[in-house]
Copies of this chain bind each other. A is one copy, B any other.
């Protein structure tokens, strides 16, 4: 641990994104976890909730308000949607805040209200928030103290699509995003629909035409395209713990070939440590990124002329949540962007 280690707090440390941050931070050379909050388990050691953290030097769980959060360098918000904004509104300025909930992702308060069914209660902070899709917004992330960490589905959709819309290589309509996610995307809440016996050995779609990540995806794509983009987005629940695979169906702009998409994406992501554009017509699997911050993108020609298919895989808990949050922290603190994110995929 460096003497200049950043002091870290995690609000809501006992969910899956919280514990994943702890896994990644264990490999970080210049970060020290000082505060872990859990309203439900305050007073207990974290190993009482996650026995595999036994033996790690970590603070006991506390309640928000027990510790002086203003003295920390970085705060990760891993609280449920809707409650985060109230906590963040009350925080002292000082710490860099990276919020993994959806609360600050939609820049338009009206869009927030119509999507989440309640008015935003920290609008003054919403104004400063930067949407933290790292590869697409580095400059803004470096200079803010509040990052809205992107959703897992939106990350898997925007990384392949945004550069193509920006370069006008694909039509803004139709865009079909058929996404498949592992079950940790539903969080650690004890719900009947997340039970092993309900989830394993089967598959279903949910939130068809109505999932809350749609406006978030469209906000990013519209910005990239420079005009309103609306998409068809269908998420599915797959019986695995980690991973998102998005299969994206696009129509090519006039005169454009699928190979041009390949070239454009390769050019856009050259030198990126975490975004890999695979050789044309590759078949990425979520297994290839399990436990890593990688995003793999493949381009396929359509069977019909003028069409292409993009495939994007990430680990929903890493590049789709805690890994990207840590990447953003590194950027905000001027540390090497890959610090704590060098894990090789766990396969099998």
- Residues of A participating in the B interface, judged by any CB pair closer than 8 Å: 16, 19, 22-23, 26-27, 50-56, 173-174, 176, 178, 180, 183-184, 188, 190-192, 194-206, 208-210, 214, 230-234, 236, 238-243, 245, 247, 249, 251, 276, 278, 281-291, 300-304, 307, 309, 311, 313, 342-348
Would you list 14 pairs from A and B whose C-beta atoms are within 8 A, ordered by A residue?
A22-B344, A27-B344, A54-B288, A174-B304, A176-B249, A194-B197, A201-B240, A201-B287, A202-B240, A202-B290, A203-B245, A204-B285, A204-B286, A232-B303
Q: Please report the C-alpha to C-alpha distance between residue A19 and residue B348 in the assembled complex, in whole angstroms.
A: 9
Contacts A201-B242, A245-B203 given; does A208 touch B309 at CB 8 Å: yes
Interface contact B197-A195, CB-CB below 8 Å? no
When distances are taken between beta carbons in the complex, the residues of chain B under 8 Å from A242 are 201, 348
Contact of A307 among B27, B232, B284, B285 (CB under 8 A): B232
Q: Which residues on B sit within 8 Å (CB–CB) of A251?
A: 174
What is the bound-complex CA distance between A162 and B19, given in angstroms? 35
Is A309 a contact of B54 with CB atoms below 8 Å?
A: no
B347 & A52 in contact (Cβ 8 Å cutoff): yes
- Do A232 and B304 contact each other (CB < 8 Å), given the known contacts A23-B346, A347-B50? yes
Extra contacts besides A52-B288, A201-B243, A202-B286 (18): CB < 8 Å: A23-B345, A27-B342, A27-B343, A51-B284, A51-B288, A53-B344, A174-B251, A176-B176, A184-B197, A194-B195, A197-B348, A198-B287, A203-B238, A203-B245, A206-B283, A241-B348, A290-B346, A291-B346
Is the CB–CB distance between B283 and A202 below 8 Å?
no
Out of B232, B243, B303, B304, which one reaches A203, CB within 8 Å? B243
Q: Which residues from B are CB-within-8-Å of A205?
A: 245, 247, 283, 311
Residue of A53, A204, A242, A284 with most chain B CB atoms under a 10 A cut-off: A204
Kindly list the 3 A-B residue pairs having the minimum CB-CB distance in the complex, ordered from nearest: A202-B287, A204-B285, A197-B348
